[in-house]
Amino acid sequence: MSIIQAIILGAIEGLTEFLPISSTAHLILLGDLLKVPSTIFTQTFEIVIQLGAILAVLGLYLKKIFRWNTIKRLAVAFVPTAIIGFGLYKIIKGVFFTNQLIIVLALIIGGLILIIFESYHQDDIPEKTESNIETITYGQSFIIGCCQSLAVIPGVSRAAATIIGGLALGINRRTIVEFSFLLAVPTMAAASGYDLYKNSQAISGTGLGILAVGFIVAFLVAWLSVKSFIKYIQKYDFKPFGVYRIVIGLLFLWWLL
């Protein structure tokens, strides 16, 4: 992997991690377009640079994430993903991350679900309502965590699954979006840490430099992306993201076939 490829992939990660369009799917499919070799290091790179995006959230929501009531809710939501993610690790890395057809279909189906859901769901989009994560119950937290666990399949989108799940439970739009941001912290930290532990032998001195470049770029772009996304949800719904998912999915399907 070259430095230029690392910069591009880092920017894509930072831009897409917190949007309901699946950052992992974009990294895998774009990596193929850029002719990035499919190696253990590449797969590790695609997960580890997500830590850069996670640090952006920590910087923006430092006060909120370290509240005890918030930590407890995040812990409950993290449990389902931890069980499924660790239990199915070999299948996730060996099957889901390497099957482009599964990824593309997940993008398209997820886009259709977004559009259909938003067409029938009514909430507080026009209102600039405040976020209050502590109004989320532990039961709701667990259900949101179950929704997030679906995102072990690239293309599903962790953000889309948690946000739609929260909205379906009647949670305020801004609240569930910010909860989704914060839930990404333990989820991606655990995924990255475990992946580094399993594949540390695949990272050389040069590899560390490439990881650092992707990490920094992802951090900077994610910082801007999160702030912009919060402004967006105060006025609009997620239908445009659903349309985007379908279009990009069909384009990649055409490319694959």
Residue that is written with structure tokens 């690790």 in the block: 89
Measured CA to CA in angstroms, residue 95 lies from 26, 65, 109, 174 at distances of 17, 34, 19, 34
pLDDT at 125: 59
Residue that wins the pLDDT comparison between 108 and 32? 108
Q: Pick from 40, 42, 55: which is nearest to 9 by CA?
A: 42
What is the average pLDDT value for the chain, to the nearest integer? 87
Instruction: Measure the CA–CA gap between 108 and 123, rounded to whole angstroms.
Output: 25
Q: How far is CA 169 from the centre of its chain?
A: 20
Question: Which pair of tokens denotes residue 76?
Answer: 């409950």
pLDDT band (50, 70, 90) for residue 96? confident
Residue 204 has pLDDT above 70, yes or no: no
DSSP for 12-32, please give it: HHHHHTTTTT-HHHHHHHHHH
Residue 197 has pLDDT above 80, yes or no: no
Mean pLDDT of 155-174: 93
Instruction: Measure the CA–CA gap between 247 and 107, rounded to whole angstroms.
Output: 9
What is the tens place of the pLDDT at every residue in 59-73?
A: 888 888 889 999 999
Residue 195 has pLDDT above 80, yes or no: no
Residues 22, 107 contacting (CB under 8 angstroms): yes
List the chain domain ranges: 3-256
Please tell me the pTM assigned to this model. 0.88
Of 91-95, 178-182, 213-217, which gets the smallest average pLDDT?
Answer: 91-95
Question: Which pair of tokens denotes residue 102?
Answer: 């599964």
Instruction: Measure the CA–CA gap between 29 and 162, rounded to whole angstroms.
Output: 23
Instruction: Measure the CA–CA gap between 139 and 256, rounded to whole angstroms.
Output: 41
pLDDT at 255: 87
Q: Pick from 117, 125, 169: which is nearest to 147 by CA?
A: 169
Mean pLDDT of 66-90: 90
Residues contacting residue 70 through CB under 8 Å, at least 6 positions apart? 64, 133, 134, 182
